[in-house]
Structure 1
């Protein structure tokens, strides 16, 4: 059995279209972290199952879904993502292959409504199709999968309508920066006084040059700069935490 699991919190604007895009799954489960809008009501009206679990962090939420949703395979899809029929057909065929316990899915990102090709935004592979019992998530933000076995690669992409505006993008990156700083602190990372600046330059170079953000023109330049600023913010917050730790 293949279950699509959609993690939600206040996703009423997206949830119906997301559910409609994954009708080919055996089960559709909305795994909600107690939304305050009508996400749950809309999901149930669309025929999806709803489970609720308090949000601690992204990795913990996905692990809870892996534990609670009974299926042979779990395909995690975010509420602002859409799965094409071609992707659905490919997934159903792929999970029959006994060699693999996971599948990487390419993701086509639209930022502020614009298809973004460079800067690491394409193909943006995500390990989302998982054989239950063989996978676990670690890291509270930008979580990674620890897989007990091999993973293959799919061809057809998830469509990701990622951020409506630059303001939303910057706000989300600030939130990620705080979570990332906490993860680095727990891992024992101690930054030097210059670390925020060197890491900012490194991230800009990686995004704009190495990952060819320049092919998206001014759009790519802005994204590379904003991601570099988010990296600076992460290490600045880490410095603040280190000062607290040392008294």
Structure 2
């Protein structure tokens, strides 16, 4: 087996003082940590510097562009991208080292163990929720979407077994707050791509979203949390297409 290549961890932040310490603690083994901060007014940047991270102040350009900006600053060929509310477990770290020492692939999908509050959501399409997060920067990069970005690798890819922990929404209020932002970004992206919202999109898609998550993806096995998440995602779908319709109407009357 080859020596383990050096790894750069990249993180984008905005007012993450409640999350970032646990995240950084879980990746302090990395050879380099690069943080792109887009205007935090809390202690986020100070905490990052305390862990030896290289912190950059960047204007917000969307999730994909922000993450690619981080990767371009990496001193190492291999990049592991994590969000501030994610944690790399010791088991996953060991698996990453073993995988990279084999020097066989150009990118790796990592499963995510997603939590709503303190509850691990095992269904609803929330697990294993593979994301490609570990990749060679000469072979891959994030799609430059404003939201729902993903790494695209031009090369061989493989799947790791050990999940990272994703402490996504603290509670319903936290979900609704972020839903407002994500639904707006998604509606704007759809509008800019020439998509149009129909009555079916606004009223039938949300119902199907609930049906898919709660029944087809076995959300009912997650009990009350599964029911709540299915309802919240249905609401997100309604908000997204309602906002798209408003953008269409505004453009039509302009």
* TM-score, normalization by structure 1: 0.95
Deviation at residue 185 of structure 1 after TM alignment: 0.7
Alignment match of 1:191 (pick from 183, 190, 197) = 197
Separation (CA, whole Å) in 1 of partners of 2:99 and 2:200:
47
Separation (CA, whole Å) in 2 of partners of 1:185 and 1:97:
44
1:174 matched residue in structure 2 = 180
1:92 matched residue in structure 2 = 97
Residues 1:221 and 2:227 aligned together: yes
1:58 matched residue in structure 2 = 63
Separation (CA, whole Å) in 2 of partners of 1:206 and 1:150:
32
The answer to whether the 8 Å contact 2:28/2:51 transfers is no
2:169 matched residue in structure 1 = 163
Deviation at residue 133 of structure 1 after TM alignment: 2.1
Separation (CA, whole Å) in 2 of partners of 1:32 and 1:233:
28
Deviation at residue 19 of structure 1 after TM alignment: 1.0
| RMSD of Structure 2 on Structure 1 (CA) | 1.4
Deviations 1:184-239 (A, max 9, x none): 11111112223211111121122111211111111101100110110011001111
Alignment match of 1:4 (pick from 9, 19, 31) = 9
Partner-residue secondary structure (3-state), 1:44: helix
The answer to whether the 8 Å contact 2:10/2:71 transfers is no
Alignment match of 2:121 (pick from 116, 124, 144) = 116
Partner-residue secondary structure (3-state), 1:3: strand
Q: Number of aligned pairs?
A: 247
2:110 matched residue in structure 1 = 105
* Runs of 4 or more above 4 Å deviation: none
Separation (CA, whole Å) in 2 of partners of 1:95 and 1:55:
32
Partner-residue secondary structure (3-state), 2:71: helix
1:23 matched residue in structure 2 = 28
Structure 2 alignment gaps of length 5 or more: 1-5
Separation (CA, whole Å) in 1 of partners of 2:168 and 2:196:
32
2:45 matched residue in structure 1 = 40
Residues 1:129 and 2:134 aligned together: yes
Deviation at residue 37 of structure 1 after TM alignment: 0.9
Structure 1 alignment gaps of length 5 or more: none
Partner-residue secondary structure (3-state), 2:61: coil
Partner-residue secondary structure (3-state), 1:128: strand
Deviation at residue 91 of structure 1 after TM alignment: 1.0
Alignment match of 1:233 (pick from 239, 247, 252) = 239
Separation (CA, whole Å) in 2 of partners of 1:171 and 1:124:
22
